[in-house]
Structure 1
Amino acid sequence: MSQREPLVGVVMGSDSDWPTMQAAAVMLKEFGVP
């Protein structure tokens, strides 16, 4: 069986949520989470 690489997404209700979720996106990137 082949292993699949997990994917993570940042889900927001609207564009106005981005300032709050941006920190989470930065941390995911720093940890190398695709």
Structure 2
Amino acid sequence: MEYIILVITFTLFIIIAKDLAHHKKKNPVLK
């Protein structure tokens, strides 16, 4: 059942994207 892998990947992507956005707000100097 590949849809489970897709859901997990999508969830991880959202978490990472939120984390990167949070770091950008915290440290504007970092790219």
TM-score past 0.5 threshold: no
Instruction: Name the structure where helix makes up a greater proportion of residues.
Output: 2
TM-score (norm 1): 0.38
**Normalized against structure 2, the TM-score is what?**
0.40
Greater gyration radius: 2
